[in-house]
A and B are shown apart, each in its own frame.
Chain A
Amino acid sequence: DAGVIQSPRHEVTEMGQEVTLRCKPISGHNSLFWYRQTMMRGLELLIYFNNNVPIDDSGMPEDRFSAKMPNASFSTLKIQPSEPRDSAVYFCASSRLLDSNYGYTFGSGTRLTVV
């Protein structure tokens, strides 16, 4: 099992550019979560999907952020336009919907720097 795979590992972009972060969950997992890690807020839930359907996007900071899950094996988080305050580490995680007692399996994260 390759685990949750995120790409890219690092992204440096200029303010105003579009950024797309990608995630491949563990096969058989039907819940997917996007988190952002910052010093001030720790791990902040942005959005999560159950069976490819967005369930709660109340954590998405603003309309510049959007997330999609077109199929069970792929999700994207897009920021357009990006701003310096978006700089953070973004984590994707997955779990089985009816078996979250062991929490989620996290990817290694994407470190985003917006200059």
Chain B
Amino acid sequence: DQQVKQNSPSLSVQEGRISILNCDYTNSMFDYFLWYKKYPAEGPTFLISISSIKDKNEDGRFTVFLNKSAKHLSLHIVPSQPGDSAVYFCAARPNTGNQFYFGTGTSLTVIP
């Protein structure tokens, strides 16, 4: 049973515009969330995180928003650049244990 869901398998955005990637989760015990970025033939790499005590975390062009009541988080990339084209995974960790559960990924294409 998929506890972390990314319902959009792909997204295309024009360079310079905003990219919004969405993620939903079902387990109310999740209290820490990450976004990973993955290029072809490479492993995923950490992008940005957010704790459940916050509703927003920003790092340069990347901002993650968390809506705990809706069990929803989103990643905003502004402005989008062609180098942002990759697969993005969201991941969530329960308040017990150190394992992260990943979504199915969203493939972002930024069109020059």
A55 to B96, CA, bound (A): 12
Residues A108 and B43 in contact, CB atoms below 8 Å apart: yes
B residues within 8 A CB of A97?
A: 98
Q: Are B102 and A42 in contact (CB under 8 A)?
A: yes
Shortest CB-to-CB span from B47 to chain A, Å, is 9
Determine whether the beta carbon of A42 is less than 8 Å from that of B6: yes
Report the minimum CB–CB distance from B33 to chain A (whole Å).
10
Residues in B89-112 with C-beta less than 8 Å from chain A: 89, 91, 93, 97-105
Task: Determine whether the beta carbon of A106 is less than 8 Å from that of B45.
Answer: yes
Residue picked from B41, B44, B98, B105, most chain A C-beta under 10 Å: B98
A81-103 interface (Cβ within 8 A of B): 91, 93, 95, 97, 100-103
* CB proximity to B under 8 Å, residues A22-55: 31, 33, 35, 39-45, 48, 50, 55
| Contact of A104 with B100 in the complex, beta carbons under 8 Å | yes
Q: Are B46 and A103 in contact (CB under 8 A)?
A: yes
Expressed in whole angstroms, the minimum distance between the Cβ of B21 and any Cβ of chain A is 13
- A91–B42 CA distance with the chains assembled, in angstroms: 10
Closest CB in chain A relative to B8 CB, distance in Å: 13
Q: Mark B14-47, 1 if CB is under 8 A from A, else 0.
A: 0000000000000000001010100001111110
Given the interface contacts A93-B43, A100-B98, does A41 sit within 8 Å of B2 by beta carbon? yes
Give how many A residues have a beta carbon under 8 Å from the other chain's beta carbons: 29
A106, B98: Cβ atoms closer than 8 Å: no
Q: Residues of A contacting B99 with CB < 8 Å?
A: 33, 45, 48, 55-56
Q: Any chain A CB within 8 A of the CB of B49?
A: yes
Complex interface residues of chain A between 4 and 33 (CB less than 8 A to chain B) = 4, 31, 33
Complex Cα distance A97/B101, Å? 16
Chain A residues within CB distance 8 Å of chain B: 4, 31, 33, 35, 39-45, 48, 50, 55-56, 91, 93, 95, 97, 100-109
B-to-A contact residues, CB < 8 Å: 2, 6, 32, 34, 36, 41-46, 49, 89, 91, 93, 97-105
